[in-house]
Chains A and B, each alone.
Chain A
Amino acid sequence: MRQQKVAPARGLQPVHALAGALVLLLAGIVASIYQDRTFHEQRLRELTVQAEILAASVTAALVFDDSQTVQEHVSALAINRAVAAAGVHDRDRNLIASIGTGSVTTTAAGQSEPSGPGSTVHTSVMHEGEAIGYVYIREREEPLSLRIARHVPMMLLAIMAALFVALMGTLQRTLHEANRQLEVRAVTLAETNQMLQSEMEERSRAEEALRQSQKMEAVGQLAGGVAHDFNNLLTIIRGNLHLLRQTRPEGREETDEFIVNAELAADRAGHLVRRLLSFSRRQPPSSIPVHLNDIARGMQELIAHSVGKNVQVVWTLSSTWETVCDTNQMENVILNLAINARDAMPDGGTVTIETVDLPGFEPEAGELQPGDYVALRVRDTGIGMSGDVSSRAIEPFFTTKPHGEGTGLGLSTAFAFARHSRGHLQIESAPGSGTTVTILLPRHRIMSEEVA
């Protein structure tokens, strides 16, 4: 699993969202406090104006000691809900008129100060350049409920904004988490897909091998049937040739040559039929435990003679294990392979024939069981084969040799032999790089032989 692609969730973390929400709330509170202060200052300014108006309107009344008029002017202020208390003093700080609750005290600065909550504004009643009286107005403390009500919209907005930010943070995180899981799933999916594809390829290879095997089986049965009948016909031909030789009239010796030629041809035909029967397994093999090295050593002279002087033969016989096979067929196979190698090197070259033990060999899937094998390899330095040719090389009667020179049975017989010996035949080749044919045979063990 490619973990490095799965990055941790980035972007807006919940802690960021929380901080943002807190900042918004704080901003809302600050704005509310500021608004409250501004509102209060505004009220005080209004009350100051009110006090100045009152001072101006009671000037004449103060001059003429008309306290009733002063009281009327002061009482008029009761209409203003913002006013909790108001009053007018004369120049000697005697209270002339007042409204509202609370006793009036004189502050250190000499100003009259009504007791109670709320701020008080003061102004003097000026007449002819001197203060002839003093006016105070105390504001009414705004009820807490009203003040709260004034801040509710702002706080609601701030809370909603904070909630929104927090929600966005949570959403973002969820989205990141979902993305991360999706990435993990995508990786898993890709892996599964790859596995599936390799399985499909394997299956297709297995099917191809099965088809090939079935084809070989069919061809083998066909060839076997034909060879069997042909063998019977050959027996009749041979018998008649024998009778012909015995019943030849004296003085006709010149016909012996024809009879001998016919008998030679019949022998060759018989040989061909045996190979066909061997390919189709109609002929029972006489398998015995044997060392491949022994077989190979027995053929060195024959092969050296067969390949000619242009081709050098190198023997590397390192196998020590026994295997089970038909000795005659094995000899045939080695000879055939050596001749094929020679034909692949018209200008001469080297044929390497080796035997080797393959302990714990793991062949390609579907063809053999893993285990110990003994291998025979015949390698040439010849022209090699294209993929097309090498894939058809083991088909019976397929040959690249000129018409009449090859039977097309050499490799197919070797293939059949390997299969009948519970082994396998492999061809490695490319144009220009020579060809290596390997015959794999299972190692023979004395114990298993007895069980079998």
Chain B
Amino acid sequence: MAALIVCAGFSLPLAADRQLELAVKATFLYKFAPFVTWPAEAFDTPSSPFRLCVVGTDPFGALLDDAVRGQTVMSRPIALRRLASVDRQSGCHAVFVSGSAVQSAAEALRAVDRTATLTVTDATLGPHRGIVHFVITNDRVTFDIDNAAAARNRLSISSKLLALARNVRGQPLAGSQ
């Protein structure tokens, strides 16, 4: 059932520049949003902000603040929050999970399981996988998508995004090329 989709590398060369890699990932965090559909009850009002959370150790720092400044997602302002731990009441629409001494990555992922939350993990920070999992391929930032996990969280991911992913696991397979 897991179909491996060979996906494109990115045109943006990272070389050994860790900073640039993080900047790209920071941008990606909110760029995923337009390709994901949240259930209607995930937002209180049509103008409610899109809450982007970073749980655990924050690798981005100011890079993320710069990236989301002035940006909107689906006509909503972006509310960036940095949390030590996350639970079902945190109200995050998307959460970057890195894990910390307070709450491990696995615990954090479990905490938001089956809530309308898009979880993002990074291969450079550990083996734990969220719905979106950053992977460096050929010096480029790529990502895998776990569509089954997304379905569990009642999220619908656009085939356009799935087509861009390096690997996609879980149903549906729509958008595979």
Contact of A72 among B8, B10, B12, B161 (CB under 8 A): B8
Chain B 1-51 interface residues, beta-carbon cutoff 8 Å to A: 7-12, 28, 31, 34-35
B74 on the A face (CB < 8 A) = yes
Q: Which residues of B contact A211 (CB under 8 A)?
A: none
- Give Cα distance in the complex from A65 to B163, angstroms: 14
Contact with A along B159-177 (1 / 0, CB 8 A): 0110110000000000000
- Give Cα distance in the complex from A68 to B12, angstroms: 10
Interface contact B12-A65, CB-CB below 8 Å: yes
Interface contact B35-A65, CB-CB below 8 Å: no
A327 on the B face (CB < 8 A) = no
Known: A64-B164, A66-B10. A128 touches B74 (CB 8 A): yes
Contact of A61 among B28, B75, B164 (CB under 8 A): B164
Interface contact A67-B11, CB-CB below 8 Å: yes
Interface contact B28-A64, CB-CB below 8 Å: yes
Residue of B with least CB distance to A61: B164
B158 on the A face (CB < 8 A) = yes
Interface contact A60-B158, CB-CB below 8 Å: yes
Residue of A with least CB distance to B160: A60
A226 on the B face (CB < 8 A) = no
Please, how many residues of chain B have a CB less than 8 angstroms from a CB on the other chain?
17
- Give Cα distance in the complex from A127 to B75, angstroms: 12
- Give Cα distance in the complex from A67 to B9, angstroms: 9
Residue of B with least CB distance to A96: B11
Known: A63-B34, A128-B74. A56 touches B160 (CB 8 A): yes
Q: Which residues of B contact A72 (CB under 8 A)?
A: 8
Instruction: Give min CB distance, B158 to chain A, whole Å.
Output: 7
Instruction: Give min CB distance, A233 to chain B, whole Å.
Output: 155
Q: Which residues of A contact B11 (CB under 8 A)?
A: 65-68
Contact of B164 among A56, A66, A128 (CB under 8 A): A66
Interface contact A128-B34, CB-CB below 8 Å: yes
- Give Cα distance in the complex from A56 to B161, angstroms: 11
Q: Which of B8, B12, B28, B161 has the most CB of A within 10 A?
A: B8
Q: Which residues of A contact B28 (CB under 8 A)?
A: 64
A172 on the B face (CB < 8 A) = no
Instruction: Give min CB distance, B14 to chain A, whole Å.
Output: 12
Interface contact A68-B9, CB-CB below 8 Å: yes
- Give Cα distance in the complex from A393 to B144, angstroms: 146
Contact of B8 among A56, A63, A68 (CB under 8 A): A68
Q: Which residues of A contact B161 (CB under 8 A)?
A: 60
Residue of A with least CB distance to B8: A69
Contact of A57 among B7, B12, B31, B160 (CB under 8 A): B160
Contact of B160 among A59, A68, A129 (CB under 8 A): A59
Chain B 116-140 interface residues, beta-carbon cutoff 8 Å to A: none
Contact of A68 among B10, B34, B74, B158 (CB under 8 A): B10
Residue of A with least CB distance to B158: A60
Q: Which residues of B contact A64 (CB under 8 A)?
A: 10, 28, 31, 164
Residue of B with least CB distance to A69: B8
Q: Which residues of A contact B8 (CB under 8 A)?
A: 61, 66, 68-69, 72
- Known contacts A57-B160, A63-B35, A67-B11; 20 additional CB pairs below 8 A are A56-B160, A60-B35, A60-B158, A60-B161, A60-B163, A60-B164, A61-B8, A63-B31, A64-B10, A65-B10, A65-B11, A66-B8, A66-B11, A68-B8, A68-B10, A68-B11, A69-B8, A69-B163, A69-B164, A127-B34
The residues of B with any CB-CB pair to A shorter than 8 Å are 7-12, 28, 31, 34-35, 74-75, 158, 160-161, 163-164
4 A-B pairs closest in CB distance: A69-B8, A67-B11, A60-B160, A68-B8
